[in-house]
Protein backbone atom coordinates (compact mmCIF):
# COMPACT_ATOMS: atom_id res chain seq x y z
CA UNK A 1 0.00 0.00 0.00
CA UNK A 2 1.28 3.40 -0.93
CA UNK A 3 0.86 6.83 0.54
CA UNK A 4 -2.61 8.29 0.31
CA UNK A 5 -3.76 11.84 -0.26
CA UNK A 6 -6.57 13.32 1.81
CA UNK A 7 -8.89 12.57 -1.13
CA UNK A 8 -8.17 8.84 -1.36
CA UNK A 9 -11.67 7.84 -0.23
CA UNK A 10 -13.23 10.40 -2.59
CA UNK A 11 -11.40 8.77 -5.49
CA UNK A 12 -12.71 5.34 -4.54
CA UNK A 13 -16.22 6.76 -4.15
CA UNK A 14 -15.96 8.23 -7.66
CA UNK A 15 -15.03 4.81 -9.09
CA UNK A 16 -11.34 5.50 -9.66
CA UNK A 17 -8.93 2.92 -10.93
CA UNK A 18 -6.03 3.44 -8.53
CA UNK A 19 -2.40 2.88 -9.49
CA UNK A 20 0.95 3.29 -7.82
CA UNK A 21 2.57 6.57 -8.80
CA UNK A 22 6.02 7.01 -7.22
CA UNK A 23 4.83 5.40 -4.00
CA UNK A 24 1.41 7.09 -3.94
CA UNK A 25 -1.97 5.45 -4.59
CA UNK A 26 -3.37 7.77 -7.24
CA UNK A 27 -6.34 7.68 -9.64
CA UNK A 28 -5.29 6.89 -13.22
CA UNK A 29 -8.87 7.30 -14.44
CA UNK A 30 -12.46 7.10 -13.24
CA UNK A 31 -13.68 5.03 -16.20
CA UNK A 32 -12.58 6.65 -19.46
CA UNK A 33 -9.42 8.69 -19.85
CA UNK A 34 -10.66 10.16 -23.13
CA UNK A 35 -13.95 11.34 -21.60
CA UNK A 36 -12.02 12.95 -18.72
CA UNK A 37 -9.68 14.61 -21.19
CA UNK A 38 -12.63 16.03 -23.13
CA UNK A 39 -14.29 17.28 -19.94
CA UNK A 40 -11.25 19.48 -19.30
CA UNK A 41 -11.20 20.77 -22.90
CA UNK A 42 -14.95 21.49 -22.93
CA UNK A 43 -16.25 21.91 -19.37
CA UNK A 44 -14.36 21.67 -16.07
CA UNK A 45 -12.45 18.88 -14.40
CA UNK A 46 -10.70 18.47 -11.07
CA UNK A 47 -7.38 16.73 -10.43
CA UNK A 48 -5.98 15.73 -7.08
CA UNK A 49 -2.29 16.56 -7.33
CA UNK A 50 -1.59 16.50 -3.61
CA UNK A 51 1.22 14.04 -4.25
CA UNK A 52 3.28 16.90 -5.63
CA UNK A 53 5.68 18.30 -3.09
CA UNK A 54 5.40 21.79 -1.63
CA UNK A 55 8.59 23.31 -0.28
CA UNK A 56 8.34 26.72 1.37
CA UNK A 57 11.44 28.89 1.47
CA UNK A 58 11.57 31.83 3.84
CA UNK A 59 14.06 33.94 5.79
CA UNK A 60 16.32 36.89 4.95
CA UNK A 61 18.22 35.07 2.19
CA UNK A 62 15.23 33.32 0.57
CA UNK A 63 15.41 35.39 -2.62
CA UNK A 64 19.20 35.31 -2.80
CA UNK A 65 19.17 31.53 -2.38
CA UNK A 66 16.51 30.88 -5.05
CA UNK A 67 18.27 33.21 -7.50
CA UNK A 68 21.27 30.89 -7.12
CA UNK A 69 19.30 27.61 -7.06
CA UNK A 70 17.01 28.17 -10.07
CA UNK A 71 17.68 28.90 -13.74
CA UNK A 72 14.79 31.35 -13.90
CA UNK A 73 15.08 34.51 -11.83
CA UNK A 74 12.70 34.90 -8.88
CA UNK A 75 13.58 38.60 -8.85
CA UNK A 76 11.06 38.82 -11.72
CA UNK A 77 8.31 38.08 -9.19
CA UNK A 78 7.66 41.72 -8.42
CA UNK A 79 4.37 41.17 -6.60
CA UNK A 80 3.10 38.77 -3.96
CA UNK A 81 1.24 35.90 -5.63
CA UNK A 82 3.12 35.90 -8.92
CA UNK A 83 4.31 32.55 -10.27
CA UNK A 84 7.27 31.45 -12.38
CA UNK A 85 8.10 28.19 -14.14
CA UNK A 86 11.73 27.22 -13.72
CA UNK A 87 14.29 24.48 -14.01
CA UNK A 88 16.58 23.52 -11.17
CA UNK A 89 19.87 22.60 -12.85
CA UNK A 90 23.00 20.75 -11.83
CA UNK A 91 26.54 22.01 -12.53
CA UNK A 92 26.63 20.27 -15.91
CA UNK A 93 23.41 22.00 -16.94
CA UNK A 94 21.19 18.91 -16.57
CA UNK A 95 17.68 19.31 -15.18
CA UNK A 96 17.42 18.14 -11.55
CA UNK A 97 13.70 19.00 -11.69
CA UNK A 98 11.24 21.45 -13.17
CA UNK A 99 9.00 23.39 -10.83
CA UNK A 100 6.70 26.29 -10.18
CA UNK A 101 7.73 28.96 -7.69
CA UNK A 102 5.25 31.44 -6.20
CA UNK A 103 6.10 34.60 -4.32
CA UNK A 104 4.24 34.46 -1.01
CA UNK A 105 3.82 36.77 1.98
CA UNK A 106 6.28 34.65 3.95
CA UNK A 107 8.80 34.25 1.11
CA UNK A 108 8.54 31.70 -1.70
CA UNK A 109 6.58 28.51 -2.31
CA UNK A 110 8.19 25.95 -4.59
CA UNK A 111 6.14 23.04 -6.00
CA UNK A 112 8.31 20.18 -7.25
CA UNK A 113 7.54 16.78 -8.74
CA UNK A 114 6.47 13.86 -6.61
CA UNK A 115 8.81 11.22 -8.05
CA UNK A 116 11.84 13.45 -7.43
CA UNK A 117 10.92 14.47 -3.88
CA UNK A 118 13.89 12.98 -2.01
CA UNK A 119 16.63 14.04 -4.39
CA UNK A 120 15.10 17.52 -4.74
CA UNK A 121 15.06 18.03 -0.98
CA UNK A 122 18.64 16.81 -0.69
CA UNK A 123 19.64 19.13 -3.51
CA UNK A 124 17.81 22.14 -2.08
CA UNK A 125 19.12 21.59 1.46
CA UNK A 126 22.70 20.95 0.33
CA UNK A 127 22.80 24.12 -1.76
CA UNK A 128 20.95 26.10 0.87
CA UNK A 129 23.84 25.76 3.28
CA UNK A 130 25.44 29.13 3.80
CA UNK A 131 22.19 30.97 3.12
CA UNK A 132 20.03 32.31 5.92
CA UNK A 133 16.92 30.59 4.56
CA UNK A 134 14.41 28.22 6.10
CA UNK A 135 13.42 25.26 3.91
CA UNK A 136 10.24 23.53 4.95
CA UNK A 137 8.10 20.81 3.33
CA UNK A 138 4.33 21.18 3.66
CA UNK A 139 2.83 17.67 3.60
CA UNK A 140 -0.20 18.98 5.50
CA UNK A 141 -1.36 20.82 2.37
CA UNK A 142 -3.42 19.35 -0.46
CA UNK A 143 -3.35 20.59 -4.06
CA UNK A 144 -6.45 20.53 -6.27
CA UNK A 145 -6.24 21.64 -9.89
CA UNK A 146 -9.51 22.71 -11.48
CA UNK A 147 -9.21 23.26 -15.22
CA UNK A 148 -11.39 23.81 -18.25
CA UNK A 149 -13.29 26.65 -19.92
CA UNK A 150 -15.84 26.64 -17.08
CA UNK A 151 -13.36 25.97 -14.25
CA UNK A 152 -12.98 29.48 -12.86
CA UNK A 153 -16.71 30.11 -12.94
CA UNK A 154 -17.33 26.81 -11.10
CA UNK A 155 -14.67 27.51 -8.47
CA UNK A 156 -16.06 31.00 -7.89
CA UNK A 157 -19.53 29.52 -7.38
CA UNK A 158 -18.40 27.59 -4.29
CA UNK A 159 -16.45 30.46 -2.72
CA UNK A 160 -17.72 33.34 -0.59
CA UNK A 161 -18.13 36.69 -2.40
CA UNK A 162 -14.78 38.10 -1.38
CA UNK A 163 -12.76 35.04 -2.46
CA UNK A 164 -14.83 34.59 -5.61
CA UNK A 165 -14.13 38.18 -6.65
CA UNK A 166 -10.41 37.78 -6.00
CA UNK A 167 -10.33 34.50 -7.97
CA UNK A 168 -12.29 35.91 -10.91
CA UNK A 169 -9.83 38.81 -11.20
CA UNK A 170 -6.69 36.67 -11.24
CA UNK A 171 -4.51 36.93 -14.30
CA UNK A 172 -2.56 33.97 -15.59
CA UNK A 173 0.36 32.96 -13.35
CA UNK A 174 -0.96 34.99 -10.41
CA UNK A 175 -2.41 33.87 -7.12
CA UNK A 176 -3.53 35.11 -3.73
CA UNK A 177 -3.26 33.86 -0.18
CA UNK A 178 -6.02 33.68 2.38
CA UNK A 179 -4.68 32.26 5.61
CA UNK A 180 -3.41 28.76 4.85
CA UNK A 181 -5.30 28.72 1.54
CA UNK A 182 -3.75 29.74 -1.73
CA UNK A 183 -5.45 30.04 -5.13
CA UNK A 184 -3.42 30.55 -8.30
CA UNK A 185 -4.00 30.65 -12.06
CA UNK A 186 -1.46 27.95 -12.86
CA UNK A 187 -1.77 24.47 -14.31
CA UNK A 188 -0.67 21.75 -16.65
CA UNK A 189 -3.44 21.39 -19.23
CA UNK A 190 -3.42 24.32 -21.68
CA UNK A 191 -6.85 25.39 -20.40
CA UNK A 192 -7.85 28.17 -18.05
CA UNK A 193 -8.14 27.17 -14.45
CA UNK A 194 -6.78 27.40 -10.95
CA UNK A 195 -4.78 25.39 -8.50
CA UNK A 196 -6.08 25.41 -4.95
CA UNK A 197 -3.63 24.75 -2.16
CA UNK A 198 -5.38 24.16 1.14
CA UNK A 199 -5.08 22.16 4.38
CA UNK A 200 -5.63 18.41 3.90
CA UNK A 201 -8.53 18.51 6.35
CA UNK A 202 -10.46 20.91 4.10
CA UNK A 203 -9.82 19.16 0.81
CA UNK A 204 -12.65 16.56 0.91
CA UNK A 205 -15.28 19.23 1.54
CA UNK A 206 -14.01 21.39 -1.32
CA UNK A 207 -13.95 18.30 -3.55
CA UNK A 208 -17.59 17.55 -2.68
CA UNK A 209 -18.65 21.14 -3.34
CA UNK A 210 -17.02 21.10 -6.76
CA UNK A 211 -18.62 17.73 -7.58
CA UNK A 212 -21.97 19.25 -6.61
CA UNK A 213 -21.55 21.97 -9.28
CA UNK A 214 -20.77 19.33 -11.91
CA UNK A 215 -16.98 19.53 -11.97
CA UNK A 216 -15.85 16.02 -12.99
CA UNK A 217 -12.94 14.09 -11.48
CA UNK A 218 -10.00 13.62 -13.87
CA UNK A 219 -7.22 11.09 -13.40
CA UNK A 220 -3.50 11.15 -14.05
CA UNK A 221 -4.04 9.45 -17.43
CA UNK A 222 -5.90 12.42 -18.86
CA UNK A 223 -3.51 14.78 -17.10
CA UNK A 224 -0.76 13.28 -19.26
CA UNK A 225 -2.60 13.61 -22.61
CA UNK A 226 -3.70 17.15 -21.69
CA UNK A 227 -0.18 18.30 -20.87
CA UNK A 228 1.19 16.62 -24.01
CA UNK A 229 -1.35 18.44 -26.20
CA UNK A 230 -0.31 21.65 -24.45
CA UNK A 231 3.34 20.84 -25.30
CA UNK A 232 4.38 20.79 -21.66
CA UNK A 233 7.31 18.63 -20.59
CA UNK A 234 7.06 15.72 -18.19
CA UNK A 235 10.07 15.28 -15.95
CA UNK A 236 11.86 11.95 -16.33
CA UNK A 237 10.52 11.59 -19.87
CA UNK A 238 11.13 14.79 -21.84
CA UNK A 239 14.10 15.81 -19.73
CA UNK A 240 16.18 14.66 -16.79
CA UNK A 241 19.58 15.21 -15.20
CA UNK A 242 21.37 14.29 -18.41
CA UNK A 243 19.36 16.76 -20.55
CA UNK A 244 20.13 20.41 -21.02
CA UNK A 245 17.11 22.70 -20.81
CA UNK A 246 18.38 24.06 -24.15
CA UNK A 247 17.71 20.60 -25.65
CA UNK A 248 14.36 20.30 -23.85
CA UNK A 249 12.47 23.34 -25.16
CA UNK A 250 13.07 25.01 -21.78
CA UNK A 251 15.22 27.91 -22.84
CA UNK A 252 12.46 30.29 -21.77
CA UNK A 253 13.07 29.08 -18.20
CA UNK A 254 16.65 30.37 -18.26
CA UNK A 255 16.94 33.98 -17.25
CA UNK A 256 20.19 35.15 -18.88
CA UNK A 257 19.83 38.69 -17.55
CA UNK A 258 21.28 40.10 -15.39
CA UNK A 259 24.55 38.68 -16.60
CA UNK A 260 26.13 38.80 -13.19
CA UNK A 261 23.52 36.51 -11.59
CA UNK A 262 25.31 33.29 -10.72
CA UNK A 263 22.97 30.28 -10.82
CA UNK A 264 23.86 26.62 -10.70
CA UNK A 265 24.54 25.35 -14.22
CA UNK A 266 24.92 28.80 -15.80
CA UNK A 267 28.32 28.17 -17.40
CA UNK A 268 27.19 24.80 -18.75
CA UNK A 269 23.94 25.99 -20.33
CA UNK A 270 25.71 29.01 -21.82
CA UNK A 271 28.02 26.58 -23.59
CA UNK A 272 25.03 24.40 -24.61
CA UNK A 273 23.48 27.33 -26.44
CA UNK A 274 26.57 27.76 -28.60
CA UNK A 275 26.82 24.03 -29.10
CA UNK A 276 23.22 23.89 -30.31
CA UNK A 277 23.71 26.70 -32.81
CA UNK A 278 26.63 24.73 -34.22
CA UNK A 279 24.43 21.66 -34.59
CA UNK A 280 25.99 19.68 -31.76
CA UNK A 281 22.98 19.62 -29.45
CA UNK A 282 19.51 18.37 -30.39
CA UNK A 283 16.22 20.19 -29.93
CA UNK A 284 12.92 19.06 -28.43
CA UNK A 285 10.19 19.49 -30.97
CA UNK A 286 6.68 18.34 -31.79
CA UNK A 287 5.77 15.49 -34.13
CA UNK A 288 2.39 14.87 -35.71
CA UNK A 289 1.11 11.66 -37.26
CA UNK A 290 -2.15 12.34 -39.08
CA UNK A 291 -2.71 8.77 -40.27
CA UNK A 292 -3.43 5.68 -38.17
CA UNK A 293 -1.01 4.62 -35.46
CA UNK A 294 0.27 5.99 -32.19
CA UNK A 295 3.66 7.52 -31.51
CA UNK A 296 5.16 6.24 -28.24
CA UNK A 297 8.00 7.21 -25.94
CA UNK A 298 11.24 5.49 -26.94
CA UNK A 299 10.45 5.10 -30.65
CA UNK A 300 13.33 5.98 -32.96
CA UNK A 301 13.03 9.05 -35.21
CA UNK A 302 15.04 8.88 -38.44
CA UNK A 303 15.79 12.31 -39.88
CA UNK A 304 17.82 13.64 -42.81
CA UNK A 305 20.32 14.98 -40.29
CA UNK A 306 20.58 11.97 -38.04
CA UNK A 307 18.62 10.05 -35.47
CA UNK A 308 16.34 11.18 -32.66
CA UNK A 309 13.94 9.70 -30.16
CA UNK A 310 10.36 10.25 -29.02
CA UNK A 311 10.33 11.39 -25.40
CA UNK A 312 6.52 11.47 -24.96
CA UNK A 313 3.89 10.23 -27.36
CA UNK A 314 0.23 9.41 -27.31
CA UNK A 315 -3.08 9.70 -29.07
CA UNK A 316 -4.46 13.22 -28.88
CA UNK A 317 -8.14 12.98 -27.92
CA UNK A 318 -8.73 16.58 -29.05
CA UNK A 319 -7.08 16.21 -32.48
CA UNK A 320 -8.01 12.53 -32.90
CA UNK A 321 -4.57 11.52 -34.14
CA UNK A 322 -1.21 10.93 -32.57
CA UNK A 323 1.21 13.62 -31.38
CA UNK A 324 4.59 13.43 -29.72
CA UNK A 325 7.49 15.33 -28.29
CA UNK A 326 10.80 14.19 -29.74
CA UNK A 327 14.44 15.08 -29.34
CA UNK A 328 15.95 15.32 -32.83
CA UNK A 329 18.95 16.98 -34.52
CA UNK A 330 18.62 20.69 -35.35
CA UNK A 331 17.26 21.39 -38.88
CA UNK A 332 16.21 17.79 -39.30
CA UNK A 333 14.14 18.09 -42.49
CA UNK A 334 11.92 15.12 -43.25
CA UNK A 335 11.49 12.55 -40.50
CA UNK A 336 10.18 9.03 -40.15
CA UNK A 337 9.33 7.17 -36.98
CA UNK A 338 9.95 3.48 -36.52
CA UNK A 339 6.56 2.31 -35.25
CA UNK A 340 6.86 -1.35 -34.37
CA UNK A 341 9.10 -2.02 -37.34
CA UNK A 342 7.25 0.16 -39.86
CA UNK A 343 8.85 3.44 -40.95
CA UNK A 344 6.10 6.06 -40.94
CA UNK A 345 6.31 9.67 -42.18
CA UNK A 346 5.63 12.29 -39.52
CA UNK A 347 5.47 16.08 -39.61
CA UNK A 348 7.67 18.30 -37.46
CA UNK A 349 5.74 21.08 -35.73
CA UNK A 350 6.29 23.49 -32.87
CA UNK A 351 5.91 21.60 -29.59
CA UNK A 352 2.51 23.07 -28.79
CA UNK A 353 -0.53 21.31 -30.16
CA UNK A 354 -3.69 22.49 -28.38
CA UNK A 355 -4.55 25.65 -26.43
CA UNK A 356 -7.98 26.52 -25.06
CA UNK A 357 -9.53 23.56 -26.84
CA UNK A 358 -8.17 24.48 -30.28
CA UNK A 359 -5.44 23.16 -32.54
CA UNK A 360 -2.54 25.65 -32.59
CA UNK A 361 0.07 24.27 -35.00
CA UNK A 362 0.11 24.74 -38.79
Partner 1 sequence: MSTYPDNLKYAATHEWVRLEEDGTATVGISNHAQDALGDIVFVELPEVGATIHAKDEVAVVESVKAASDVYSPVSGEIIETNGLLEDAPETVNSVPYDDGWFYKIQISDELELDELMDADAYFDHCEED
Shortest CB 43 distance to partner 1, Å: 18
Q: Given the complex with partner 1, which of 3 and 32 has the nearer CB atom? A: 32
Alpha-carbon gap, residue 19 to 15, rounded angstroms: 13
Alpha-carbon gap, residue 29 to 19, rounded angstroms: 9
Shortest CB 33 distance to partner 1, Å: 5
- Considering only residues 23 to 42 of the shown chain, the ones binding partner 1 according to CB under 8 A are 29, 32-34
Contact 285, 230 (CB under 8 A): no
Q: Is 292 in the site for partner 1 (CB under 8 A)?
A: yes
Q: Is 340 in the site for partner 1 (CB under 8 A)?
A: yes
Q: Is 294 in the site for partner 1 (CB under 8 A)?
A: yes
Draw the binding track, 241-280, toward partner 1 (x: CB under 8 A; -: no contact).
----------------------------------------
- Considering only residues 137 to 176 of the shown chain, the ones binding partner 1 according to CB under 8 A are none
Shortest CB 17 distance to partner 1, Å: 8
Q: Is 5 in the site for partner 1 (CB under 8 A)?
A: no
Q: Given the complex with partner 1, which of 87 and 231 has the nearer CB atom? A: 231
- Considering only residues 306 to 325 of the shown chain, the ones binding partner 1 according to CB under 8 A are 314-315, 317
330: left (phi over 0), alpha (psi -120 to 50) or beta: beta
- Considering only residues 175 to 234 of the shown chain, the ones binding partner 1 according to CB under 8 A are 221, 225
- C-alpha distance from residue 35 to each of 7, 99, 241 (Å): 21, 28, 34
Q: Is 296 in the site for partner 1 (CB under 8 A)?
A: yes
Q: Is 236 in the site for partner 1 (CB under 8 A)?
A: no
Closest CA to 152 of 197, 61, 215: 215
Largest CA distance in the chain: 59
Q: Is 341 in the site for partner 1 (CB under 8 A)?
A: no
Alpha-carbon gap, residue 15 to 51, rounded angstroms: 19
Closest CA to 144 of 89, 181, 106: 181
Q: Given the complex with partner 1, which of 28 and 330 has the nearer CB atom? A: 28
Contact 110, 96 (CB under 8 A): no
Q: Is 353 in the site for partner 1 (CB under 8 A)?
A: no
Please, where are the H alpha helices in the chain?
8-13, 33-42, 62-69, 117-128, 151-158, 161-169, 203-212, 220-229, 266-277
Residues in contact with partner 1 by the rule CB under 8 A: 29, 32-34, 221, 225, 292-294, 296, 314-315, 317, 340
Amino acid sequence: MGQKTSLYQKHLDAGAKMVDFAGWDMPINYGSQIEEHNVVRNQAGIFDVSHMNIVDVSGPDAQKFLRYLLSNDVAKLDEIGRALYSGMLNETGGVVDDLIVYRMNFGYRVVVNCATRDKDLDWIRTHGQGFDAKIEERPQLAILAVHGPKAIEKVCSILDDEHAAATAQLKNFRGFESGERFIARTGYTGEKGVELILPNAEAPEVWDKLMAVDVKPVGLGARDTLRLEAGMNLYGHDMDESTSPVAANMEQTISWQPQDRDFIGRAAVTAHKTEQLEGGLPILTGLVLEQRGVLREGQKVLCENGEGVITSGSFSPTLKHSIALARIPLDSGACQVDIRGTLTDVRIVKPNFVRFGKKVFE
